[in-house]
Structure 1
C-alpha cells in the first residue's frame, strides 16, 4: 500500500490512542496545594441563629484577601464522623462581594466542596453571605434547631481558604442567639451584649472542633469542684423539669471525671465542656471534640433514672475521646485541613478502646452497677457472636464503613456488617486487658497501657499521632508478648464467633436464658422495640415493623426482611408480649408460630418452625476461675 495512504490511518490511530490515554487520566481539581504559610489576617465569621421558626442559620464572613484567584472550601471530612459527610446540600444562597460590588463564583467540577472566585483589583476584603438550612425533618439529617434549643456545628456554617493548614488560619466568630438564651461551648467568650456573643479569635481547627449548645432552658453543673482544670456539664432541655439532677446523680458524674483522671493520669484541655441535650425533638448525638463533646439523649435521662442503665456510657465514652482520638490520633488522620481524606485503619483503637473505657468508667463511677456493666457486656458479646457477615468480611474492613456508607441505614446489617470496630473492638480490648492481667499475675493491666499511651505531654492539647507499631510497642513495655500477632488474628480473622477469649479469661461465659436482663429491658424501652434476635432471628418495633433480620436465621429462612410488618400472631393482633407468648407456647406444643405479615399492599401468612423458646444473653460465672471483671469494674482508689 502506498505510504500516502497508510499515513492518515496511522495518524488517526495515534490520535485515538492519545485521546484514550487523556481520558484515562484522573480528573484534576483546580484547588491550591496546602502550603506552610499562615493565612494573612483574621477571618470574621458571624452567625445569626435566631430564626427558630424556619430553622435557618444566616451567615456572613469577612475574609482578608489580595486581588487574584481565591478558592474557598466547605468542610467535607468532619472530625468524629470518620467520613466525607459535610452537609453541602444544606449550604444555600451563596453570594460574594468586594467593595460593594458582586463577585461571581464557580464550583470546582471535581472537588465540588470548592468554590473559585477572582478577587478584583483594589479589594482587600471579600464579603460572603449564605445560609445553612438546617434539617426540618429527620430524613434530611439530624435536627439541630428547635423552639427550645439549638446546636452550632461550626463546619456546617464555615468556608475557609484553600492552600493553608487549618491550624494556621485565624477566625474570629460571632453569634446571635434568641433573646435570653444561655449557651455552653469550649470556645473562649470575649464579650456578650444582650443576645450578641463575640468569641476570642482562634485557629480554624479549634473553631471547627468547638461546637456550641444553647437553649431556653439551661443549667450548668460543675463536675470538678475545686479542680485547677474545670470540667462542666452544660445541659439544655425541652422543659425546665428535665434539667433537675438529684445530688446522687451529680455525684456519679463527678466520680466519672475523677476516675478518668486516675486512669489516664493527665489532661489535654484548658477546660472541658460536656454539651448535653435532653430532648424529644433535637437530634440525638454522641460526638467527640478535644475540649468538649456533643451529647443528645431523650429528656428522661435524670427524671426517669430508675428505668434502667442502658445508654449511661455515652458521656464517659465521649469524655475518653479527649485522650483517645483527639489528643492521641491515628497517623492516618494527620491531615492539614477538612478537605483532605482521612485514613481509618486504626479506628479499632480510636473507637474500640474508647468503647471499652466508656463502659469501664461507667462502672467505676457508678453510672453502671457492676451487674449492669456485665449485662451490657453480655449484650455486646451476643450481638457480635452472632454476626453472620463475619464469614466473608473481617472486622478490620469495617473501619471503612463511614466512608463507604456514610452512616446511612442498611437493609441487612447482620450480613453486611456496619462499623463493628466500635463494640467488637471493645471485646478485643477486654481480651488484651485480661491477657495482661493473667500474664503479669494481676500486677499489670490495660490501665497501665492507658497511662503510658495517653498520659504523655500532660497539659498539652497538641495532637500526638500513633501507628499500629506504636500501640504494639507500648503493650510490650507493659508486658512483653507477641501483641502484633495477637491483635492481627482478631482483627483479620473470620471466627467462628466473636473474640470472646477475654470473657473466659475474666471468669465469665456467655449464656442464654428465657428472661431478659434489666439492661436488655431498658434497651428495648429506649429503642421502642422487642428483640427476638437470638430466638426468631429478628427485632420488631412497637408498631409491628420488622427492624432487623439475622441472616440465615429463623425469620430469614421464612422470607422476612426489614421492609415487612407483622399484623397478627396466631390470629391475634401483634404486640410484643403476644409474640413472646407465642414463642413460649410453641416450645411446649411444637406447633409452628403463624404470622400474618404485610409488605407494601400485600398480605401473606408465614409459619415459623421454632421450638426452643425465648433466648436472651447474660453472663454466667465459670466455676473455679478468678473474677477479673470485678477487678476491672472496681473504682480506682
Structure 2
C-alpha cells in the first residue's frame, strides 16, 4: 500500500510538470519513530495489579470514562485494545468509539504511537524512574442503533468491560490481574459475576480478577432492579438479575420463575456437572437498550420486551429460548471450547471451524431445554423444528456453499446483511441447520441402541468432565468423534463430514433426524395459531409457494432464490399493486393462490418499483404451503421423548 501511494505521488508530480519527489528509502518510516514489534503473549504473570476505574454516570451523554493505573518499568510498552470479542467469533472490538486517550507518568505526559499495521495497538516509551502510568480515555457509546448497539439508556446500563479497557501486550490475558471498580448513577443496583468487595456511595469495588475473567463478567445495572434465586439451597448460586425501563415491568410470576428453576435442574441432569462457582442471568426488559443474547462462562447478557413477563410471554417464544441457549454455553463454548477459539489473548485471531458444535449443538440443547423446563411447549418445539426443516429444504445456497464454510461468516463481515439468505447462506446456518444434524445424531443413537442411549449420554460424557472446574478445556473434531463412538460405535467422522461438507445440486438436506424421530415434514394450507406465532406463517407468508413475504404496504421482501417470483425477475423491494386485476392485499393474494389449485390459468400480479410497473404471469398451482411436522403412524415418538423432562 505504501509503495502504491508513493508511485501515485510520483505520477501526479510528473503529470503536473513538477520535479519528481525523492522516493523514501525502504524501511524509513513516515512516523515520529520506528514502530516496534508487538510482543507475542507468553505464559507468565504481568508484574503487579492494574487498577481499573470506570465512571458510568454520564447517562445523558452516554459516555463511559475510564482510568487505568498500570505498573510499568522503563522501556518500550505496547497497550492493546481487545479486537476479537469472545462470543462474537470475529474482530469486532469497537476501537472506533475510543477517544481522548492520554497517558501520564509521574505527572508528565507520555505520547503514544498507534501501530499502522494493527491499529488496535498503542506503543509508548516509559521514561526511566516511572514505575506506573495512568491511562485515561472515553468509550463513546452510541445514542442509537444505526452503527453499534445501544448499551446506555435512561434507566439502565450494559457494561462490557472488554470494550472499555487497554492491556499490556506480551502476556496471556489469564495472567494479567485487574482490580476493577465502577461508579454508577445514584440509586442504581447491578448484577455481575465478579465478587463485590464494597458498594458505597454508588461505587462498586470488586475483588481482583484476571483480564480473561473481567472480560467474561459483564454488568447489567439500572434504576429499576430485582434479583431472584433460581436454585434455592443448591450447590452454587444461580441468580436471575432483572433491570427494566419501568419498575412495574419487573413482575415475573411464581409459575414463570418455577420454569427457570426447572431449567437449572434440567441442565444439571443433562450435563451432570457444574463448571461455575456462581451463575448470573442478566436480563434487561427494555425498548431503549439494544437487544442482545451473549454467552459467558458464569453469566449471560440477555434482553427481552418490556412486557415479557406480562402479556408478551406467550408471543415471545424466541426470548423464552434465549436464556436456555445462553445457559448451555457455560458448558458448550466456555468450559469445553473449540481449540481454535481458545486463544491466549483478545488480539490473537480466532478460527471458527467448530461453530457447528459451539453454536449448533447449543441451539439444539437450547430448544430441548426450553421444552424440558416448561419454558416452551412440545407444540412450539415441533413448529420450530418444522420451520427450520422447511427453510433448509428450500435453501438453494447449498448448491455452491457447504455448511462448514458458513462457520467463516463472521470473519467475512460480522453479521453483514444478506440480501439473498437462501442463496448466500450465512451465520444462521451453523446454528439452525446444525441443530438438525444434532437431532439426526440423537435419533440415530436412540435407534441403534433400542432407545437405551441418546445424545444425553454424549452431553454428560463430553461436557460433564471435571465437575466443579471452570478452567476452559479445548476440544477438537476428533474429540467429538471419540466421545460419540464411546456412546455407540458408528462412522461418526463420516456422518458429520457428509453433512458438513455436502455441496452441489444433489446435496441432501439433513432431515433424517425428523423422520427417525417419528415425524415427517409436510406442508399445509392452514397453519395453526402456534405455527403462525413461531414461524410467521399465515397471511403475508408466501415463502414456500410464490417465494416471498408480503410486508406492510404490500411490499415484497425476503425473496427466495429460484422461486416462482424470483424466476419472474423480481427481487426484494417491489410493491404488489394488484392480483388478477383486484387491488392487492394478503387475503386477496391468498385467495388467488388457493383458486389456482383448480385452474390452469396463471396468477397475474402487477408489481411496481421506483422505475415503473410490471405485469407478471406466474404459472403456479400448488397452493398455500406452510411447514408442519406430521406424526408417522406406528413409529416411536422419539422427538416427544427428547422434549420430555429428564426429572420425570
* TM-based fold match above 0.5: yes
In the alignment, which residue of structure 1 is the partner of 2:87? 80
- Following TM superposition, by how much is the alpha carbon of 1:593 offset from its aligned partner in structure 2, in angstroms? 4.3
Provide closer, same or farther for how the CA distance between residues 569 and 265 of structure 1 changes in structure 2, counting only shifts above 3 A: same
SS in structure 2 of the partner of residue 236 of structure 1: strand
Provide closer, same or farther for how the CA distance between residues 621 and 520 of structure 1 changes in structure 2, counting only shifts above 3 A: closer
1:580-591 alignment runs, 5 A limit:
580-587=590-597, 591=601
Provide closer, same or farther for how the CA distance between residues 42 and 308 of structure 1 changes in structure 2, counting only shifts above 3 A: closer
What do residues 305-350 of structure 1 show as CA deviations (whole Å, max 9, x unaligned)? Answer: 2336344211111000000000001111221000001111111111
Q: Quick one: which of 330, 343, 346 aligns to 1:322?
A: 330
Q: Quick one: which of 178, 195, 204 aligns to 1:188?
A: 195
In the alignment, which residue of structure 2 is the partner of 1:558? 568
Greater shift, 548-557 or 451-460, is seen at 548-557
Greater shift, 131-140 or 154-163, is seen at 131-140
Matched, 1:483 2:492: yes
Q: Quick one: which of 207, 212, 216 aligns to 1:209?
A: 216
Matched, 1:298 2:327: no
Provide closer, same or farther for how the CA distance between residues 141 and 572 of structure 1 changes in structure 2, counting only shifts above 3 A: farther
Q: Quick one: which of 403, 414, 420 aligns to 2:411?
A: 403
- Following TM superposition, by how much is the alpha carbon of 1:30 offset from its aligned partner in structure 2, in angstroms? 2.3
1:330-345 alignment runs, 5 A limit:
330-345=338-353
1:622-637 alignment runs, 5 A limit:
622-637=632-647
Matched, 1:434 2:457: no
Provide closer, same or farther for how the CA distance between residues 291 and 546 of structure 1 changes in structure 2, counting only shifts above 3 A: farther
CA contact (8 A) 2:384 2:535 kept: no
SS in structure 2 of the partner of residue 471 of structure 1: helix
In the alignment, which residue of structure 1 is the partner of 2:137? 130
Report the Cα distance in structure 2 between the residues aligned to 1:94 and 1:529, rounded to whole angstroms.
54
CA contact (8 A) 2:532 2:538 kept: no
Matched, 1:280 2:287: yes
Greater shift, 317-326 or 280-289, is seen at 280-289
In the alignment, which residue of structure 1 is the partner of 2:630? 620
Provide closer, same or farther for how the CA distance between residues 280 and 544 of structure 1 changes in structure 2, counting only shifts above 3 A: farther
CA contact (8 A) 2:527 2:538 kept: no
- Following TM superposition, by how much is the alpha carbon of 1:600 offset from its aligned partner in structure 2, in angstroms? 4.4
Greater shift, 363-372 or 306-315, is seen at 306-315
Provide closer, same or farther for how the CA distance between residues 608 and 212 of structure 1 changes in structure 2, counting only shifts above 3 A: farther
- Following TM superposition, by how much is the alpha carbon of 1:624 offset from its aligned partner in structure 2, in angstroms? 1.8
Matched, 1:511 2:507: no
Provide closer, same or farther for how the CA distance between residues 594 and 340 of structure 1 changes in structure 2, counting only shifts above 3 A: same
Provide closer, same or farther for how the CA distance between residues 573 and 142 of structure 1 changes in structure 2, counting only shifts above 3 A: farther
Q: Quick one: which of 367, 372, 375 aligns to 2:380?
A: 372
CA contact (8 A) 2:607 2:613 kept: yes
CA contact (8 A) 1:310 1:376 kept: no
Q: Aligned residues, how many?
A: 612
Report the Cα distance in structure 2 between the residues aligned to 1:197 and 1:367, rounded to whole angstroms.
34
Provide closer, same or farther for how the CA distance between residues 127 and 563 of structure 1 changes in structure 2, counting only shifts above 3 A: farther
- Following TM superposition, by how much is the alpha carbon of 1:181 offset from its aligned partner in structure 2, in angstroms? 1.3
1:350-429 alignment runs, 5 A limit:
350-419=358-427, 420-429=429-438
CA contact (8 A) 2:383 2:535 kept: no
In the alignment, which residue of structure 2 is the partner of 1:501? 512
Report the Cα distance in structure 2 between the residues aligned to 1:212 and 1:432, rounded to whole angstroms.
37
In the alignment, which residue of structure 2 is the partner of 1:458? 467
Report the Cα distance in structure 2 between the residues aligned to 1:145 and 1:593, rounded to whole angstroms.
50
Report the Cα distance in structure 1 between the residues aligned to 2:226 and 2:598, rounded to whole angstroms.
54
CA contact (8 A) 2:85 2:91 kept: yes
Provide closer, same or farther for how the CA distance between residues 543 and 247 of structure 1 changes in structure 2, counting only shifts above 3 A: farther
Provide closer, same or farther for how the CA distance between residues 241 and 595 of structure 1 changes in structure 2, counting only shifts above 3 A: farther
Q: Quick one: which of 515, 525, 538 aligns to 2:548?
A: 538
- Following TM superposition, by how much is the alpha carbon of 1:605 offset from its aligned partner in structure 2, in angstroms? 4.5
SS in structure 2 of the partner of residue 348 of structure 1: helix
Provide closer, same or farther for how the CA distance between residues 263 and 529 of structure 1 changes in structure 2, counting only shifts above 3 A: farther
Report the Cα distance in structure 2 between the residues aligned to 1:47 and 1:517, rounded to whole angstroms.
51
SS in structure 2 of the partner of residue 138 of structure 1: coil
Q: Quick one: which of 54, 76, 84 aligns to 2:61?
A: 54
Report the Cα distance in structure 2 between the residues aligned to 1:275 and 1:567, rounded to whole angstroms.
46
Q: TM-score, normalised by structure 2?
A: 0.90
Greater shift, 130-139 or 626-635, is seen at 130-139
Report the Cα distance in structure 2 between the residues aligned to 1:33 and 1:307, rounded to whole angstroms.
49
Report the Cα distance in structure 1 between the residues aligned to 2:546 and 2:288, rounded to whole angstroms.
33
Provide closer, same or farther for how the CA distance between residues 390 and 173 of structure 1 changes in structure 2, counting only shifts above 3 A: same
In the alignment, which residue of structure 2 is the partner of 1:522? 533
